[in-house]
Amino acid sequence: MIKVIILGAGNVAFHLTTNLLKNIEVKLVQVYNRDITKIQYLKNQTSITNNLTDLKEADIYIISIPDNAISNFSSKLELKNKLVVHTSGCTAMNELQSNSNKGVFYLVQSFSKERKVDFSKIPICIEAETDKDFKLLKKLAKSISNNNYSINSKQRESLHIAAVFVNNFVNHLYYIGNQICEENKISFEILKPLILETANKITSLDPINAQTGPAMRNDTKTIEKHTTKLTVNQQEIYTLLTKSITKTYGKKL
């Protein structure tokens, strides 16, 4: 049994806690959070604390708090010869300031408290300073999901940027699509099957081969017609992405 302590109660920490409580290869020894009211619901299932000096013994301490708080928070931990990891996509392993062994346990998924997550398919990117710690993290990763990857801090930073494009920015384009529908009294429901198919397609086709639409076809008549119908902000985005697509496919607008 791998003994784990989770520090934090945000979306990632919440789902990871739920998973590890049911994980037969893991003993979730304790959950820490600064605001104890957020972890009160766990008091019958594991030890809870809001006091760093009360931390119990464990094999892995998982810090799952806002990215910009990791460095400072980790400097307060006194966990010599223990493995302390964070779950951040955009924080280098060496930003951990504890005098303990360092590692990273990055779950590549977008978590919301309201949505259940199928952990068995979540890619887990791990990094550690030593082989021994790497193996321990790999064991933990395997107990959670079938997909695990060795990703160093430099790669993880790029991976996180790529995730911003395919997750945050994509969702913003959904928002703009929704906005255009609302402005024209069209049900956004009409676009949902298209949104799902667009995502599903890339499981069998490379994005470069899945591209369709007026920009790809260099259909300047349609492109011009479209841009006149948009708000300034929508138009800027339409024009820049159209330019990028035509550039990608070697056509000139």
Site membership for a copy of itself, residue 166 (CB under 8 A): yes
**Interface with a copy of itself, residue 94, by CB under 8 A:** no
What's the rounded Cα separation, in Å, for the pair 74 and 116?
29
Contact 210, 201 (CB under 8 A): yes
Give the nearer residue to a copy of itself in terms of CB position, either 25 or 236. Answer: 236
Burial of 99 (0-12, 13-18, 19+ CB in 10 A): middle
Q: Which of 153, 161, 224, 251 binds a copy of itself (CB under 8 A)?
A: 161
Site residues (CB under 8 A) for a copy of itself, limited to 17-56: none
- CA–chain centroid gap for 103, Å, is 17
Beta bridge partners of 6: 31, 62
Nearest to a copy of itself of 95, 133 (CB atom) = 95
Binding segment for a copy of itself (CB under 8 A), chosen from 22-30, 39-47, 132-140, 218-226, is 218-226
With CB under 8 A as the contact rule, the residue among 80, 113, 115, 252 that binds a copy of itself is 115
Residues in CB range of 165: below 8 A, 6 or more apart: none
Residue 215 within binding range of a copy of itself, rule CB under 8 A:
yes
Examine residue 114 and tell whether it contacts a copy of itself (CB under 8 A): yes
Per DSSP, helices labelled H in 10-69 are 11-22
| # binding residues, a copy of itself (CB under 8 A) | 92
